[in-house]
A and B are shown apart, each in its own frame.
Chain A
């Protein structure tokens, strides 16, 4: 599989052109340094990747990114070249924003990348600013003093070295699930609470009349920095033809260990989570390095549960996942152990998602708490036999009815839980439960929004 923060580094071998940062083409990790090497300062960054140099004009960069087929790594997988091209045409030049809000509690890949390889992200921010013709850029990062201190240090390092042309402002993102949603980010940058805004979906978002924003996930920016250096052909040496390149993934193994790794798109989910593909009888769970696994959560808390036996045969690629109603998203994979209750796990997440509603759209702030309460009921002993039908009905009533996709994503997760844990729900009706281990598995933050300040 891939290089990882916790796994040994792949062996380096001399290779011919086109070459990546080190080793043969396609060798991973690309974005992360050698495991155990610690955060990369500007000198180490330049030693590994070389200077950014002049990318040869914005048109060449956009052409190269389009040829590379780079898509947004924040979860939506939107083609990065199309955003860059739209930004290049916008007048006046849009403000370029690196989105590192990462409100998803199960994901820590953006924070890891910013902590370990900040200069790749900052390189990408400069490239995007140049492509957009902008003299200012913003790095929007989850409120965390240590991380902000480190990023401020990296920005100062670059200022001292004179590598940058665009000024970079660090803006803290509130610790809310939706803080990184594009319109919420734009709202926060205009001095308002980081809540999604109902807006027509066309073109770039606007900070002010006539002032657009080009918002790219921080990992997307890091890939941009590598494509500018090594080109599209090199980028495509990892991944599949339809979904090229590598991506950072956050892995939650069945034994509770979590790690961030870099994997090529199309990598086997079984390989990433240590699942044994040759599984025994269905129902017993799929054996893995961390113990037996009953189901895999793909794509985070707006994602989809898949039975472990099914997930073990799938690659991490939208081409294969989309027909099953799942998506790669921001690269979260969680292997639910066989001795936990999938309904109880989903109910905890559903409660969290309901509380993360921005409280703006009725179907969301009225519907999600009801759905979460009904799921908690279903996760308890001897639920009412009408609970499942009620959940399905409410799920249909909130889907597609918010300013943002929070209701849709939350409902996707809950519906997949009702499918995958249908047998578990049947056990609950008989007063039994498969969950013998009561400890919570999926990470859910405790702090609830209690005031307006929590959103800014």
Chain B
């Protein structure tokens, strides 16, 4: 592997933003699970976790956009514009890039429905938001399949860390589901906790 030249810059940029996007998406998934189960982060009120989930997801979209644009613009491989959104239409590694395209489409659906949340029913929004559990593994498999250096060394370590974090979050979600506070008692439970703690500020 040589240094960064103007011909390899796009290639490196695409790789790097791909890795960062996956890290951010993993954070989004973990935060989303925290939001869903009323989880807390140290030093943050529960509802601030929701804001963090949204902000990180928008950041991930920005990196994803750079990842896709640099991959298309990179003259080293031929992918084709249509392959951004049409799965398996790429000339280069159609299967592995196709998984990325599917993941991108699902993420687009999540973002668009969340932006239009005020205009749709909560049930429909929730249903579509379940697609996050499909989009994230697809992105992981896309990373592993389309990049040889993701199968060894540091990048593999990052990927393994992402998978571990998401797995822990899902396991935690399942364990919390078993002892969820019913809606009717949520506010009362929090209020009694707060009063006992003498208004943590």
| Residue positions of A touching B, CB distance < 8 A | 195, 197-201, 351, 354-360, 362-370, 372-374, 376-377, 384, 386-387, 390, 394, 397-398, 401, 403, 448-452, 454-455
In whole angstroms, what is the CA distance A454 to B187 when docked? 14
Residue in contact with B121 in the complex, picked from A198, A354, A397, CB distance below 8 Å: A198
Nearest-CB residue, chain A, relative to B194: A373
Residue pairs across A and B with Cβ atoms less than 8 A apart, 7 shown, are A198-B122, A200-B118, A200-B120, A373-B194, A401-B47, A451-B182, A452-B182
Q: Which of chain B's residues have a CB closer than 8 A to the CB of A198?
A: 121-122
In whole angstroms, what is the CA distance A222 to B92 when docked? 73
Q: Is the interface of A mostly helix, strand, loop or mixed?
A: helix
CB of B199 within 8 A of chain A?
yes
Q: Which of chain A's residues have a CB closer than 8 A to the CB of B188?
A: 355, 369, 448-450
| Residue positions of B touching A, CB distance < 8 A | 35, 38, 45-48, 50, 118-122, 182-188, 190-191, 194-195, 197-199, 201
Q: Is the interface of B mostly helix, strand, loop or mixed?
A: helix
Give the A-B contact count at a CB cut-off of 8 A: 96
In whole angstroms, what is the CA distance A449 to B184 when docked? 6
* Given A355-B187, A449-B184, 12 extra CB contacts under 8 A: A198-B121, A354-B191, A359-B182, A362-B50, A366-B47, A367-B47, A369-B188, A373-B194, A373-B197, A401-B47, A452-B182, A455-B184
The reply to whether B190 and A369 form a contact with Cβ atoms under 8 Å apart is yes
In whole angstroms, what is the CA distance A374 to B122 when docked? 31
The distance from the CB of B180 to the nearest CB of chain A, in whole angstroms, is: 11
Q: Which of chain B's residues have a CB closer than 8 A to the CB of A394?
A: 45
Q: Which of chain B's residues have a CB closer than 8 A to the CB of A384?
A: 199, 201
The reply to whether A351 and B191 form a contact with Cβ atoms under 8 Å apart is yes
In whole angstroms, what is the CA distance A52 to B120 when docked? 42
Q: Which of chain B's residues have a CB closer than 8 A to the CB of A377?
A: 198-199, 201
In whole angstroms, what is the CA distance A195 to B184 when docked? 10
The reply to whether B122 and A357 form a contact with Cβ atoms under 8 Å apart is no
State whether A366 and B201 are in contact (beta carbons under 8 Å apart), knowing that A354-B191, A359-B187 are contacts in the complex: no
The reply to whether B122 and A403 form a contact with Cβ atoms under 8 Å apart is yes
Q: Which of chain B's residues have a CB closer than 8 A to the CB of A451?
A: 182, 184
Q: Which of chain B's residues have a CB closer than 8 A to the CB of A355?
A: 187-188, 191
The reply to whether A397 and B45 form a contact with Cβ atoms under 8 Å apart is yes
The reply to whether B185 and A359 form a contact with Cβ atoms under 8 Å apart is yes
Nearest-CB residue, chain B, relative to A389: B201
Nearest-CB residue, chain B, relative to A357: B187
The reply to whether B194 and A369 form a contact with Cβ atoms under 8 Å apart is yes
Residue in contact with A200 in the complex, picked from B38, B48, B119, B186, CB distance below 8 Å: B119
The distance from the CB of B111 to the nearest CB of chain A, in whole angstroms, is: 19
